Structure 1
Amino acid sequence: MANPGDYDFYCEEALTGKTSIKKVYESEKILAFYHTKPKYNTHIIIIPKEHIHNLLDAGPNVLGEVLEVAQKILKKIDVDSGGGRLITNLGKFQETPHLHFHIISDGNYQDIKLSSKNNPSPTQLTHKTLSQVL
């Protein structure tokens, strides 16, 4: 590995199962999981399963799905703690060359799970369904 920024942890480890992760949500195209080395009480990562280098390379469909998942997670966090943050980085601030978003909160949420046996897509998770899944 030449530079830390050249190694794609998400493609090489998280998506292959090489590193164990605690999933929050998984669909055919999106994966959300608890950060393996969290820096906050709640630290969740959302990634597209397709390799996309960064936000500038992402198409509207992928961004839409990622943001739908982020919104549902943040709604759960916001209800209980009063807020959270959604962050992505570019350039020298991006440590891994794979589009990813961090959801962080000072609250301690270690059991958020948006998926079910059927792994519904975010658009299928109506308000009623979401409350049943959570």
Structure 2
Amino acid sequence: MTAQATSYSGTDFYCDVAIPDPGALEVVHEDGLVLAYHHTRPFWQLHIVVVPKRHIASFTAATAADEPDLRALLEVVQQVAREVELEHGAAAVLTNLGTYQDSKHLHVHVHSGPQR
């Protein structure tokens, strides 16, 4: 993980850092539409973030035009959550909105285990 990934202070980490340089991350899935990787500053013992590569501001900002990206995102979230649940016995899926959303780009957290 790069120093930029741990010290980023902008508003869209995904467009600015993660998507342009996935090689600096511990990637668990990448295709043309979606990137999933271990969070650079995990809140839980296991913490994976799944993000569409095309900018969508948030879950509530998504429109019908975003449907292909959302379908792809949810397929990867399901796949990652299934793998986490099988390996760790439990998984949670979470997205944040409004002021809870530090990075203003739709992203989904898949996590398991206690908070760090």
TM-score (norm 2): 0.80
Whether the 8 Å CA contact 1:6–1:97 is kept in 2: the answer is no
1:30 matches 2:37? no
1:120 corresponding residue in structure 2: none
1:45 corresponding residue in structure 2: 49
How many residue pairs were aligned? 104
Q: For the pair shown, which has the larger CA radius of gyration, 1 or 2?
A: 1
Structure 2 segments unaligned to the other structure (5+ residues)? 1-7
2:4 corresponding residue in structure 1: none
How big is the alpha-carbon RMSD for the aligned residues of Structure 1 and Structure 2?
Answer: 2.1
Q: What is the alpha-carbon distance in structure 1 between the residues aligned to residue 23 and residue 95 of structure 2?
A: 22
**Shift in alpha-carbon separation, 1:101–1:23, aligned structure 2, 3 A:** same
Whether the 8 Å CA contact 1:13–1:19 is kept in 2: the answer is no
Letter in 2 for 1:57: A
Structure 1 segments unaligned to the other structure (5+ residues)? 108-134
Q: What is the alpha-carbon distance in structure 2 between the residues aligned to residue 101 and residue 90 of structure 1?
A: 11
**Shift in alpha-carbon separation, 1:48–1:91, aligned structure 2, 3 A:** same
Letter in 1 for 2:89: G
1:106 matches 2:113? yes
Listed as ranges, the matches of 1:1-134 within 5 Å are 7-17=11-21, 20-58=24-62, 59-106=66-113
TM-score (norm 1): 0.70
Could you list the runs of 4 or more consecutive aligned residues of structure 1 that deviate by over 3 angstroms after TM superposition? none
